[in-house]
Structure 1
């Protein structure tokens, strides 16, 4: 059997409907409040989060280097806090033992190190891909190879993202605390369904992008009626709200994808065992 997009969407909406209240509380504490404070406190983060700077421009690179140099520790703390909340929400949704909120937060805190290392390894793989296919040909001066390499690197990065996207539920739901084994498990579960999973993510991303853009415009119009300080507050509020809603949706999406892939793997294993006997 293959990954079914309709089943994944129904599972996602059911998780959203049944657990939104509890997820909103956890996401509010671990996503909204820290991100809201960070956008207000860290200079330039509001511009980056709202997309006011061209991602491919030199200004973007300079601003990113400035943030990393001066506020790397704050950004790392923000990532750790959000990761704990993210893993806790996954544990609440899919752990068979049905943990309490306190137990889910303990799971998130216990597994955040694994998630950090696994994320770094996945990011390193993507960076290595870009280095081999784009940076090296550019340094040599092979312009045609750079164009071809950029296209191949984009496809490869999307493929790696899709293959490793469910590493977080593997860690939080299955309790796998080895970064290497969690990445291997995610790779194995998505085998044969990568294209279907990518299209599911892509369709959801387009839908979320349209809805979030409309909501952001409405919120921006409301706060635009005030002065500069009110607009800055509204910009931080808008960024934090969109970040929080995306986290809730992304959690339910990954939980539903992981659950379906696990079911497919168990059924496949059961049929293989029956055939062998």
Structure 2
């Protein structure tokens, strides 16, 4: 398998961001920015534990906040998936394609994308169960604590590795019109064989930059406008939506560039 070139992938991702910039920017605004903004403005706010709350009360507050947020996050994820696959379809199409055609295609692929996420979620859950259960079962002892630590480290390593190995699954679905989720996952693993850690490291670097920028902006907004209701929430929602849109489209460009680099096998496979 060819070795993944991070420099070439970054250059190609910048080229993709410049191509169809008006069209992809509009899609990102509608399908990435606006849903995140709407949830930030009108969705449930995290529950803040009372002063002096016990650990159990704090945990219960986090659990209730997560329970309230799940329906909104699922809706945002589905809408974002439509926009993401539509953008990938525009970038990876070897022939002319309109925004409408790209979005119609993305809507048709929603069941496939949901099935892929469910399969990967089940695999992650099984891995977590196998790696964490031995330590959790022996909680309270030195051996149990060590087993739990080792299991968590192995789980983090596996997640990072397969993040790289599965990075091109969405571009594969967008380019090859694969409706079978198992086939899409298998093709993604085959295409990234021997390059999992390189791709994961590349994605991790980009993600760190996005998280740092988001944290800085969030801190500035909190210091200037506060985090409560009113102007602080409105301004924070704008920043959150902007970070979601920019982060989503940059990540899509990187995965598309990675796929373009690894998928080319001959003159007939050259992307325009």
TM-score range, shorter-chain basis? Answer: 0.7 to 0.9
1:206 to 205, 208, 213: 208
1:179 to 173, 178, 181: 181
Alignment partner of 1:244 is 2:245 = yes
TM-score, scaled to structure 1: 0.83
Q: Is the 8 A contact 1:46 1:236 kept in 2?
A: no
Q: Is the 8 A contact 1:46 1:235 kept in 2?
A: no
Instruction: Tell me how far 1:58 sits from its aligned partner.
Output: 6.5
Deviations 1:144-168 (A, max 9, x none): 2111111111111111222112111
Instruction: Tell me how far 1:203 sits from its aligned partner.
Output: 2.1
Alignment partner of 1:20 is 2:18 = no
Provide the aligned length of Structure 1 versus Structure 2.
256
Secondary structure of 2:109's counterpart equals helix
Gap regions ≥5 residues in structure 1: 48-56, 271-277
The aligned residue for residue 92 of structure 2 is: 94
Question: Aligned equivalents of 1:46 and 1:19: distance in 2?
Answer: 41
TM-score, scaled to structure 2: 0.85
Alignment partner of 1:146 is 2:148 = yes
Q: Is the 8 A contact 2:172 2:178 kept in 1?
A: yes
Aligned-residue RMSD, C-alpha = 2.5
Question: Aligned equivalents of 1:93 and 1:259: distance in 2?
Answer: 10
Q: Is the 8 A contact 2:165 2:195 kept in 1?
A: no
Deviations 1:117-144 (A, max 9, x none): 1011112211211111113331234222
Secondary structure of 1:231's counterpart equals helix
Alignment of 1:71-110 (within 5 A): 72-110=70-108
Question: Aligned equivalents of 1:131 and 1:29: distance in 2?
Answer: 38
Gap regions ≥5 residues in structure 2: 49-54
Which structure's residues are more often helix, by fraction?
A: 1
Instruction: Tell me how far 1:215 sits from its aligned partner.
Output: 4.1
The aligned residue for residue 170 of structure 1 is: 172
Question: Aligned equivalents of 1:175 and 1:45: distance in 2?
Answer: 39
Secondary structure of 1:99's counterpart equals coil
Deviations 1:156-183 (A, max 9, x none): 1111222112111111122111100000
Question: Aligned equivalents of 2:9 and 2:178: distance in 1?
Answer: 23
Instruction: Tell me how far 1:88 sits from its aligned partner.
Output: 0.3
